[in-house]
Amino acid sequence: MKIPKGLLPLVEGGMVDSVIGQLQSGKEASVYIVACGDQLCCAKVYKSAENRSFRTATDYREGRKARGSRDVRAAGKRGRHGRKFQETQWQNSEVDALSRLGDAGVRVPKAHGIHEGVLLMELVCDEHGSPAPQLSEVEMTREQAHQWHAFMMTQIVRMLCAGLIHGDLSEYNVLLGPDGPVIIDLPQAVDAAGNNNAFRLLDRDVDNMRSTFSRAAPELIETQYACEIWDLFEAGELQPDTVLTGWHSRVEATPDVAAVLDQIEVARQEAEARRLGREAAEAD
């Protein structure tokens, strides 16, 4: 096939020997199968901010640390340096997330590095050696749905223990490899501790997984993992091997009516004392 413009620098530089074909074209990048020596890899060519759905990504960028004060100032502006910095940060964040999550035991592709704005990484294959299908393309049994849903909950927990939330997890960015689901597409990964949208994005990730697997196992729609996971995380009790129940109810404290009435009475007495004091002062 004709070499895509974004891959030309890698082919000319000898990092990629040939382009086998396009694997997919998504909302933020196009992905190609390429040959690097005797190894097949994925080459992810990021789209410019103007051509991708995540161009307004403030919710995701919150909490990410910039390299220096110039970058911090530039990121908030629309100048050339600011746009270039945001693009570089968006691309590098995926490499960082893949490395960080791989070290934490999350099943993600292995990154080989980013060059000229192109991410080279492991090609995830199925048991036959063909590119692994997206979860959306797979017919599953009820037993498989339960098994894969439970696995995905453990992956979300491990991600959170590593300080990250996927932020866009769905059946379209989970591949089914020979050993089960593999999570992909992480440029928008969210810093769990530094982002005010963290729980909302975690809840959406969990809900997307619940909706996907409940098509084969309808009983899963009743599970409530997000609040359980988040409460444990906020309490500092979440561990990679934490056993979850999937059932959660927030215990609301019963209001102490007597104490409230006592406070009201004290406030009333103080107000009455101030009134009498003012009247006495006026009489003098």
- Residues with Cβ within 8 Å of 119's Cβ and at least 6 positions away in sequence, in order, are 42, 43, 44, 46, 91, 94, 95, 111, 113
- The residues that bridge with 40 in the sheet, in sequence order, are 35
The CA distance from 267 to 280, in Å, is: 20
| 180-183 and 174-177 beta bridge pairing | antiparallel
The CA distance from 72 to 61, in Å, is: 12
The CA distance from 197 to 222, in Å, is: 24
Buried/exposed code over 33-60 (b: 16+ C-beta within 10 A; e: otherwise):
bbebeeeebbbbbbbeeeebebeebebb
Contact between residue 221 and residue 185 where contact means Cβ atoms under 8 Å apart: no
Provide the CA 234 distance to its chain's centre, in angstroms: 17
In 10 A of CB 117, how many CB atoms? 16
168 is catalytic: yes
Tell me how far apart the 2 most distant CA atoms of the chain are, in Å: 102
Which of 168, 203, 231, 284 is catalytic? The answer is: 168
Which of 185, 203, 207, 256 is catalytic? The answer is: 185
The CA distance from 47 to 30, in Å, is: 7
185 is catalytic: yes
| DSSP E strand boundaries for 78-153 | 111-115, 118-122
Positions marked active-site: 168, 185
